[in-house]
Amino acid sequence: MESRVFDAALAVYAEHGWSGFNFDAVSRVAGVGKAAIYRRWSKRTDLLKETLKARWEWVSAIDTGTLNGDLIALARMMFDAHAGPCGDVGFHLRSEPRRFAELRAFADPYRDDLVHEGRRIVRRAINRGELPASASPGLIMDVVVGAVINHVSSTPERLRSAMIAKRDQFIADLVGLVGAGTSDA
């Protein structure tokens, strides 16, 4: 039952965001009675928090040995999360905590994890001499993560399967631009 509720809760959150995330909708999509859901999760915040923990893959430690490899791995992770069937979860998690304070306690850590992973990637690249000491982790992350998300979110529906087929080429071009743009800084 838990597994069906998590699947349904992720789909409902992806489709409607926090303002449409309620036990009625989750119950309907999951085919599980509302009373049973309430007994297990008494608040919507608990249900969403546990759903994200169970179903929303996030930054796993990246360490391929090169800056290029690390940025490709990071870009793929972001691409797959946002282009997937519940990709709107990623967009909601980025914008909703500003509007709904009750989401911050468990949504902000997703952003913070990404920031920390970016800092580690850039610090290692500086140590290996791949980046100048002045390289800005924040800027590099904004470029890589931002470009992937912009690419996925601004591609019209009819071009979506072509976009997915060309994922690796897009990422190679993007990471190539970042490498050339930061190496002589």
The residues binding a second copy (CB under 8 A) are 15-17, 19-20, 88, 91, 94-95, 98-99, 108, 111, 114-115, 136, 138-139, 141-143, 145-151, 153-154, 156-157, 170, 173-174, 176-182, 184-185
Give yes or no for a contact between 52 and 97, defined as CB atoms under 8 angstroms apart: no
Residue 59: CB minimum distance to a second copy, A: 13
1 vs 185, which CB is nearer to a second copy?
A: 185
Residue 34: CB minimum distance to a second copy, A: 20
- Distance in angstroms (rounded) separating the CA atoms of residues 124 and 126: 5
Query: Cα-atom radius of gyration of the chain, to the nearest Å?
Result: 19
Q: How far is residue 174 CA from its own chain's centroid? A: 18
2 vs 22, which CB is nearer to a second copy?
A: 22
CA distances from 131 to 12, 82, 119, 135 (A): 42, 28, 13, 6
In the block, tokens 């990246």 appear at: 62
Residue 2: CB minimum distance to a second copy, A: 27
Residue 146: CB minimum distance to a second copy, A: 3
